[in-house]
Amino acid sequence: MKEIEIYIHIPYCVRKCRYCDFLSYANASCKEKKTYFEKLADSIRGDSNYVVRSVFFGGGTPSSVDAEYICGILEKIKKEYRIKDNAEITLEANPGTLTPGKLKAYKDAGFNRLSMGVQSLNDELLKTMGRIHTAEEARQGFKMAREAGFDNINTDLILGYPTQTKKMFGETLDEIIEIRPEHISAYSLIVEEETPLYDAIEKGDLPKPSDEDDREMYRMACEKLKAAGYEQYEISNFAKPGYESIHNTGYWTGVPYIGYGIAAASYIDGKRLSNNEDLLPMLEERVDKETAEKEFMMLGFRLTKGPDSKRFFEMFGEGYEEKFAEILTGLENKKLIDKCETGYRLSAKGIDFANEVFGEFI
Ligand code: SF4
């Protein structure tokens, strides 16, 4: 039976962070939320052709709404789909919204992984970002999650934020390493238009992020996390052995996924769909073989082991080394990729110029 991943979008937050352009609403009423969850539950219809390898509740801030809503949706998924025994079931959480009661409810419902938006352990920077939590709340949130029995926790960190110094980032990293989550995502900030952060930079209220600082912080993360026993398995993702995210790895290796909730995307049976305001899937495009092959390469190069040539062959019936020989030779000559056991992967130089590599497959 074919494997699939499920994504559930919860579009609510306590307050919008300054840098955020995700689809999420602050200050939604109780009635609006209730209606949304009713519609969301109704929209979930199983497909007996697939077995579910991961479920990811993201947003927005899933932990900001009543745990009852979240657990009810997971129950509906379990009723509708066949779920693998060892499926990864993740909830995204903002440390400022966690309580022991909520965490217990998530655990009892079957969530086995928590992804915490820590971003930084520097209070000044958290304020600048517009986060609702303090560093201490992040520490306490993590402790509560452990006490509730979560033994697979991710912490998200941001690097390259305006006013964030290398010292600040280094201190956050050191403390996170001491706390020892199983997984750490360290994302470079992308300043999106139509965010308060973009406006503040345009007006000169905040400095422009520096590429040089961003790269130095990134290298610091790679070095410190490696020394602490975390394996870098993707450009921005690091895990203790055996704790690589199943869900995210699926995106990078061409596993089909179905999204429920407003604006959630699906990629299944060669079709790309996006949900409308009524949470109904609308066809965006039929993905032809050529496009699917290129996408496989582009996403695969995000992984430190590169796109898997054996999987490419299984999916498309040809080898990527032959199919993309010209592009790959060009990238190899520029020293952006290296040959490896599973095909090709980004070189150390290629990690800094990853967009140039991805661009070859668009
Ligand atoms: S908590 Fe996450 S989704 Fe919500 S506003 Fe902040 S960054 Fe955006």
Q: Could you tell me the CATH number of the domain that includes residue 117?
A: 3.80.30.20
In a domain, 223, yes or no: yes
Question: What confidence score (pLDDT) does residue 311 get?
Answer: 94
Pair 55, 4: CB distance under 8 Å: no
Closest CA to 239 of 155, 117, 138, 142: 155
* Cβ(115) – ligand 1 distance below 6 Å: no
pLDDT for 238 beyond 90: yes
Task: Tell whether 43 and 172 lie within a shared domain.
Answer: yes
The domain in which residue 121 lies consists of: 2-250
Distance CA 297, CA 318 (A): 13
Q: What six digits make up the tokens of 183?
A: 């997984």
In a domain, 265, yes or no: no
Based on C-alpha coordinates, what's the Rg of the chain? 21
pLDDT for 331 beyond 90: yes
* The residue to which tokens 């509730």 are assigned: 148
Q: What six digits make up the tokens of 283?
A: 């066809």
Atom 2 (ligand 1) nearest CA: 60
In a domain, 58, yes or no: yes
Q: What six digits make up the tokens of 180?
A: 């020892």
Question: What confidence score (pLDDT) does residue 211 get?
Answer: 92
Percent of the chain's residues with pLDDT above 90: 98
Task: Tell whether 236 and 308 lie within a shared domain.
Answer: no
CA of 98 to the centre of ligand 1 (A): 15
Which atom from ligand 1 is nearest to the alpha carbon of 13?
4
Distance CA 237, CA 260 (A): 25
Task: Tell whether 246 and 295 lie within a shared domain.
Answer: no
Q: What is the mean pLDDT of residues 145-155?
A: 98
Identify residue 150 by its one-letter amino acid code: F
How many domains does one find in the chain?
2
Atom 7 (ligand 1) nearest CA: 20
**2, containing H or E segment:** strand 2-10
* Cβ(59) – ligand 1 distance below 6 Å: yes
* The residue to which tokens 């402790």 are assigned: 143
Task: Tell whether 29 and 136 lie within a shared domain.
Answer: yes
Summary mean pLDDT of the chain: 97
Q: What is the mean pLDDT of residues 214-231?
A: 97
CA of 176 to the centre of ligand 1 (A): 20
**142, containing H or E segment:** helix 135-147
In a domain, 264, yes or no: no
pLDDT for 1 beyond 90: no
Print burial letters for 240-249: b (CB count within 10 Å at least 16), e (below 16): beebbbbbbb
54 phi, psi to nearest 5 deg: -160, 150
In a domain, 282, yes or no: no
pTM recorded for the entire structure: 0.96
Q: What six digits make up the tokens of 130?
A: 């517009």
Q: Give how far the C-alpha of residue 39 lies from the chain's centroid of Cα atoms, to the nearest Å.
A: 25
